[in-house]
Amino acid sequence: MNWTLEVVTLPVRDVDRTKAFYESIGFNPDHDHTVSEEIRFVQMTPPGSNCSIAFGKGLTDKVPGSTGPIIICVTDINAARDQLLAAGVDPGEVDVQPWGHFVYFADPDGNQWSVQYLPYRDN
């Protein structure tokens, strides 16, 4: 039996601002559905990923900005950094460690992300 991680829920303050942010860094808007005045569900997926993020209104009682770090893997850390910079996000310099290369950023609410490139996977 497989156990697949499909969706990670993020607590946010402003759904539209968050959606625009994730669109700007390349996430695909899969769903944006208002169920009622109390519930709005937005699901977005990073390019090439089988796991999405979800946020909205009435989805979680967590404090906005309290999630993370969420680790997302890429095949080119410099291209990922450039994409973030082009979207107006400052991920800092590439952090090269013996086990991988990383850049870090936060969404508008402060939910933390770690972008990871593992060079040994290229072998």
pLDDT of residue 78: 97
Q: Is the pLDDT of residue 120 over 90?
A: no
pLDDT of residue 41: 98
Which residues are CB-neighbours of 115 under 8 A, at least 6 positions away?
A: 72, 73, 74, 77, 80, 81, 84, 91, 102, 103, 104, 105
pLDDT tier at 65 (50, 70, 90 boundaries)? very high
Question: For residue range 97-107, what is the model confidence (pLDDT) as tens digits?
Answer: 999 999 999 99
Q: Is the pLDDT of residue 123 over 70?
A: no
pLDDT of residue 122: 66
Q: What is the pTM of this model?
A: 0.92
